[in-house]
Structure 1
Amino acid sequence: MIKFENVTKTYEGGFQAVKSVNFEIKEGELLVLIGPSGSGKSTTMKMINRIIPHTSGTVSIDDKDIKSYKASELRRNIGYVIQQIGLFPHYTIEKNIAIVPQLKGWDEKDIQPRVKELLELVGLDPKIHATRYPKELSGGQQQRVGIARALASNPDIILMDEPFSALDPITREQLQAELLTLHKKLKKTIVFVTHDMDEALKMGDRIAIMKDGKLLQLDTPEKLLHEPAHGFVEEFIGKHRIIQNPELMPVTEIMSETIVTSPPQRSPERALALIRQRKITNLVILSDDKKLLGIVSAYDLLKQFDVIDTIDDIMVPAKLVLLDTATAKDAIVMIDEAPFGMIPVVDSDQKIVGLVTRGSLLSAMSSQWTETEEDTIE
């Protein structure tokens, strides 16, 4: 789909931001580019749509050199989402989304249904939000509009430059989950830049780790954790990590014991205050005798805040749980089906003892010292 062949970016004075990188991005893949500041990750992504032109080498899309396109034509066929969102403040939301289809000459009768479809796709009610202006929306809502605009002309490729890094933790996790759902549904090729390793492990089909303009390793999250090909890769992911056999690792070793709980009768006001105070995205609901009942997500709470009396009204029953005798393999098998990307771990009395989350599963599994390294420290 997208191919880099010996691609270099050199600025005046001879500074090389990207140094002869070679890799391919598969059709329908979500590829994450990650590295420290100055690693060349954003420059590499911006060379795909020629916002930054490459100095030498070849960047091609479907075997066609991107230099054979007019820059404006190339960019209209590639969606682009940035951290600052970049909405036009004097345009309504529907006009912001309609910009690219209009530039491509779409008929107006086709644009309006597309705007409505996209707002619904990113979880915004067209009747409420279409005629509003960006300043009337929250940061998370504006970023949803940014994603909708990137999808407006139905591009095959979407570039995302640290799109969620400026958002609060609750909104960020919500949008991460929604983007993964959209990716699974739409099968777009997405290039996603981040500096957050947890976000990379959560989002990427594959992850490319860069340093000083060089591509050090491009692999699946599992292989990066299990077989780092470079000392810096090991250091960047988390020094001394090693993945044990998940069939032998108890789930109690990978679960988090930090759990924020609530009774089901709590009011939405008190529940929201607790969520914000503890900076979490889900509440675990317990009965009076401390047994697990279900989960309430911050997203559902905010969405239905004005129409519920207690959080029991929006609680998702805890049908998917793990016993504390389960293994990490059991968690891996179940995690894709888990509501809100989390699995409660309970004892034989159905009392909660921990949580396994999608975002932390790989990291938790890999945070063990090798015996050799322990011996060295001793």
Structure 2
Amino acid sequence: MLKFENVSKVYNNGFQAVKSVNLEILKGEFVVLIGPSGSGKTTTMKMINRLAPHTSGTIFVDGKDIRSLNLVELRRNIGYVIQQAGLFPHYTIEKNIAVVPKLKGWNASKVKQRVHELLKLVGLDPEVYANRYPKQLSGGQQQRVGVARALAADPDIILMDEPFGALDPITREQLQAELIKLQRKLKKTIVFVTHDMDEALKLGDRIAIMKDGELLQFDTPEKLLHEPAHGFVEEFIGKHRMIQNPELMPITDVLTDKTYTSHPERSPERALAYMRKHKINSLVIVDENEAFIGMISAYDLIAKIGKVSTIEEIVLSDHVYLREDATAKDAIATMPEASLGIIPVLDSEDKVLGLVTRGTLLTALSSQWVETEEKA
């Protein structure tokens, strides 16, 4: 799908932002570019749609040199999401999403159908939001529209430049979870730039770590943690971390520190206020005996406020779970089935002992930080 061969970027002042990068991104793969400020990660991403034309080397999209492609068509066929959405303030949400399809000559009926389809896909009711303006939406809602706009013409490739960086922690975690679900459904090729290692570990199928314009390592999260190929990679991820055998690790070593629960008779408004207070994006629903019933997300609550009177009406009662005698290996196998990216762990009486997320799984599989005796 995407291939870099000895790609470099040198600016007019002589500064070399990217130095002979070689990497290949597979179709349908979620790749994260990460590194410190000035590492060349954003420039590398922008070279894909020629927002930052490369100086030397070759970039291929579906086997074609991007320099041989019409620039306008190249950009129209690649979705692009930036921080704070970048929506046109004087356009309605519908017009913002419709920009590229209209430029590609779609008829009005097809454009409207696509806009409404995408708003539903990102969790926004088109009857409510299509005719609003960006200033009438929250930051999280604007980012959802930004993702919808990037998907409007059904591109195979999506570029995302720190799209969640300016959002509050709850909204950010919520959109990360929604992006994972969206990617599982659509299987787009995504190149995602971030400076947050936790975000990279949560989202990426593979992660490219860059420093001073060089690509130091391009691997899965597990491989990066287990076999860092460079001293900087080891420092950047966490010095002296070491993957343990998941078959031997009890599931109880992989749990979150605290679990937030609710009874099903709670109203969506009260449940959402509770979640915002504790800065969480999901709730475990339990009965009067504290036995597990199911899960609910902040996204579902927001979507259903005013439509249901209690959260019992929208709880995910068929949500996957594990028992306390499971292992970390079981959690790894089960995680793809967890719609919210969360697995409750239950005891013999169905009471919730804790939750497993991809982040807690990777953290628990790694040894804790080891303090060095000498300080720089």
| CA pair 55-339 structure 1, distance change in 2 beyond 3 A | closer
Secondary structure at 1:241 match in 2? coil
The residue type equivalent to 2:240 in the other structure is H
Q: Distance in 1 between matches of 2:119 and 2:371?
A: 53
Offset from partner CA, 1:128-181 (integer Å, 9 cap, x none): 222211111221221111111111122121111011122222322232222222
- Asked whether the equivalents of residues 291 and 352 of structure 1 are also in contact (C-alpha less than 8 Å), the reply is yes
**Aligned ranges for residues 343-354 of structure 1 at < 5 Å?**
343-354=343-354
- Asked whether the equivalents of residues 292 and 318 of structure 1 are also in contact (C-alpha less than 8 Å), the reply is no
The residue type equivalent to 1:45 in the other structure is M
Q: Which residue of 1 aligns with 2:179?
A: 179
- Asked whether the equivalents of residues 319 and 338 of structure 2 are also in contact (C-alpha less than 8 Å), the reply is no
Q: Does 1:247 align with 2:247?
A: yes
- Asked whether the equivalents of residues 181 and 339 of structure 2 are also in contact (C-alpha less than 8 Å), the reply is no
Q: TM-score by structure 1 length? A: 0.92
Q: Distance in 2 between matches of 1:157 and 1:339?
A: 24
Q: Does 1:34 align with 2:23?
A: no
Offset from partner CA, 1:239-260 (integer Å, 9 cap, x none): 2211111111111111113112
**Aligned ranges for residues 119-198 of structure 1 at < 5 Å?**
119-198=119-198
Secondary structure at 2:246 match in 1? coil
The structural deviation recorded for 1:85 is: 1.0
**Aligned ranges for residues 197-276 of structure 1 at < 5 Å?**
197-276=197-276
The residue type equivalent to 1:300 in the other structure is D
C-alpha RMSD over aligned residues: 2.1
Structure 2 unpaired stretches of 5+: none
Q: Distance in 1 between matches of 2:319 and 2:77?
A: 43
Q: Distance in 2 between matches of 1:152 and 1:294?
A: 34
Secondary structure at 1:269 match in 2? helix
Q: Which residue of 1 aligns with 2:85?
A: 85
The structural deviation recorded for 1:262 is: 2.5
Q: Which residue of 2 aligns with 1:72?
A: 72
- Asked whether the equivalents of residues 256 and 354 of structure 1 are also in contact (C-alpha less than 8 Å), the reply is yes
Count, aligned residues? 374
The structural deviation recorded for 1:375 is: 12
- Asked whether the equivalents of residues 260 and 283 of structure 2 are also in contact (C-alpha less than 8 Å), the reply is yes
The structural deviation recorded for 1:46 is: 0.3
- Asked whether the equivalents of residues 198 and 360 of structure 1 are also in contact (C-alpha less than 8 Å), the reply is no
The structural deviation recorded for 1:3 is: 1.4
Offset from partner CA, 1:218-249 (integer Å, 9 cap, x none): 01122112111111112212222111111111
Q: Distance in 1 between matches of 2:209 and 2:341?
A: 25
| CA pair 375-152 structure 1, distance change in 2 beyond 3 A | closer
The structural deviation recorded for 1:349 is: 3.0
The structural deviation recorded for 1:80 is: 0.5
**Aligned ranges for residues 308-323 of structure 1 at < 5 Å?**
308-317=308-317, 320-323=320-323
| CA pair 358-318 structure 1, distance change in 2 beyond 3 A | farther
Q: Distance in 2 between matches of 1:368 and 1:74?
A: 45
- Asked whether the equivalents of residues 319 and 339 of structure 2 are also in contact (C-alpha less than 8 Å), the reply is no
Secondary structure at 2:343 match in 1? strand
Q: Distance in 2 between matches of 1:236 and 1:249?
A: 25
- Asked whether the equivalents of residues 5 and 59 of structure 2 are also in contact (C-alpha less than 8 Å), the reply is yes
- Asked whether the equivalents of residues 245 and 365 of structure 2 are also in contact (C-alpha less than 8 Å), the reply is no
- Asked whether the equivalents of residues 124 and 303 of structure 2 are also in contact (C-alpha less than 8 Å), the reply is no
Q: Which residue of 2 aligns with 1:103?
A: 103
Secondary structure at 2:306 match in 1? helix
Q: Distance in 2 between matches of 1:78 and 1:316?
A: 35
Q: Distance in 2 between matches of 1:303 and 1:313?
A: 13
Q: Distance in 1 between matches of 2:24 and 2:320?
A: 38
Q: Distance in 2 between matches of 1:374 and 1:269?
A: 45
The structural deviation recorded for 1:184 is: 2.3
Q: Distance in 1 between matches of 2:249 and 2:373?
A: 24
Q: Distance in 2 between matches of 1:260 and 1:182?
A: 25
Q: Which residue of 1 aligns with 2:9?
A: 9
Offset from partner CA, 1:294-320 (integer Å, 9 cap, x none): 323212222212233333333333753
Q: TM-score by structure 2 length? A: 0.93
| CA pair 272-108 structure 1, distance change in 2 beyond 3 A | closer
- Asked whether the equivalents of residues 257 and 353 of structure 1 are also in contact (C-alpha less than 8 Å), the reply is no
Q: Distance in 1 between matches of 2:320 and 2:64?
A: 47
Q: Distance in 1 between matches of 2:273 and 2:108?
A: 44
Secondary structure at 2:48 match in 1? coil
| CA pair 49-375 structure 1, distance change in 2 beyond 3 A | closer
Q: Distance in 1 between matches of 2:187 and 2:274?
A: 37
| CA pair 109-317 structure 1, distance change in 2 beyond 3 A | closer
Q: Distance in 2 between matches of 1:290 and 1:186?
A: 37
Structure 1 unpaired stretches of 5+: none
Runs of 4+ in 1 over 6 A off after TM superposition: 373-377
Deviates more, 1:169-178 or 1:38-47: 169-178
Q: Distance in 1 between matches of 2:140 and 2:208?
A: 27
Q: Distance in 2 between matches of 1:375 and 1:229?
A: 20
Q: Which residue of 2 aligns with 1:112?
A: 112
Q: Which residue of 1 aligns with 2:23?
A: 23
Q: Distance in 2 between matches of 1:93 and 1:222?
A: 39
Q: Distance in 2 between matches of 1:339 and 1:184?
A: 10
Secondary structure at 1:340 match in 2? coil
- Asked whether the equivalents of residues 173 and 281 of structure 1 are also in contact (C-alpha less than 8 Å), the reply is yes
Q: Which residue of 1 aligns with 2:57?
A: 57
